Amino acid sequence: MTADQLYHDPALAQFYDAENEWTEGLEYCRQLAASCASVLDLGCGTGLFAATLAQEGRCAVTGADPAAAMLDIARARSGGHLVRWLQADARALRLNERFDLIVLTGHAFQVFLTREDQAAVLRTIASHLRPNGRFIFDSRNPLVEEWKEWTPEQSQRTLTHPLLGAIEAWNDVSRDAASGVVSYDSYYRVQASGRLYSACSPIAFPAQERLAELLEEAGLIATSWLGGWDQRPCTADAPEIIVAGTLQGALTPAASTEG
């Protein structure tokens, strides 16, 4: 899997926070972590969730991401000094420890393009969950075909960068019909200087059926399937596939009725 420069190049990583503010998903996961002693944030990116959680002081937080440029931003943010940051690939991470909660949000699961890579990530989750620990991750619903909206005409937007000022941003997109992999181009033009930054990012759109198969193979079980962070059901027209669960065999009778 080739390193995506959108995250690995510091010149591009600097736009991540301008594009991604605190979301319903992060708040949902924050509530899940309320009773946890330890949390692993896989694909933590610039560390907003991990650092915010650590500042609350209720649990020990570990953030892992393969991109050094993202982790540099994470370490520098408020609360960053309270998190254990690890530069690591979610497919291969092995810490010989277990966590109460593991989160993989922001559609990070979609950067794993093949079934083998997706299976490896879920094995990482399974190997780091405590008995009765919980996991949650999200992926866009392929049935909605959201990528069709990622055209230059439909994606035009203006961002505000704390140092560079106004940024004109847009996307372009292509899709490989055989693999289902979508490649989207991100463009950022600084209005003041005219400088243009760009990157191409391939992502997968696994179906719910595949995710269910992969969970079973990894020794995990879903306790709920949501179609959005507003807790709508996971239906064919829902924008998201959000799966929460635990280790197989870890369910108590009360937990088995969830979702």
Residue 227 contacts residue 245 (beta carbons within 8 Å): no
Q: Would the CA dihedral through 123, 26, 138, 74 be positive or negative?
A: negative
Q: What is the pLDDT of residues 133-159, one digit of tens each?
A: 999 999 999 999 999 999 999 999 999
* For residues 223-228, average pLDDT: 98
Per-residue pLDDT at 250: 78
Residue 256's pLDDT band (boundaries 50, 70, 90)?
A: very low
Which is more confidently placed, 12 or 2?
12
Residue 45 contacts residue 7 (beta carbons within 8 Å): yes
Residue 34 contacts residue 88 (beta carbons within 8 Å): no
Burial class (CB in 10 A: 0-12, 13-18, 19+), 213: middle
Domains of the chain, by residue range, sit at 16-142+205-257, 144-203
Which segments of the chain does DSSP mark as H helices, in order?
5-8, 10-13, 16-19, 24-32, 48-56, 68-76, 115-128, 152-155, 208-218
Q: What is the pLDDT of residues 161-181, one digit of tens each?
A: 999 999 999 999 999 999 999
Per-residue pLDDT at 207: 97
Per-residue pLDDT at 258: 45
* For residues 22-31, average pLDDT: 94
- The CATH number of domain 16-142+205-257, selected from 3.40.190.10, 3.40.50.150, 3.40.50.2300, 3.90.180.10: 3.40.50.150
List, edge to edge, every strand of the sheet that includes 182-190: 157-161, 165-175, 182-190, 196-203
Per-residue pLDDT at 3: 85
Residue 21's pLDDT band (boundaries 50, 70, 90)?
A: confident
CA distance 204 to 175: 10
Q: What is the pLDDT of residues 52-111, one digit of tens each?
A: 999 999 999 999 999 999 999 999 999 999 999 999 999 999 999 999 999 999 999 999
pTM over 0.85: yes
Hey, which residues does 164 pair with through a beta bridge?
none
Phi and psi, residue 247, nearest 5°: -75, 145
- Taking all residues of the chain, what is their mean pLDDT, rounded to a whole number? 95
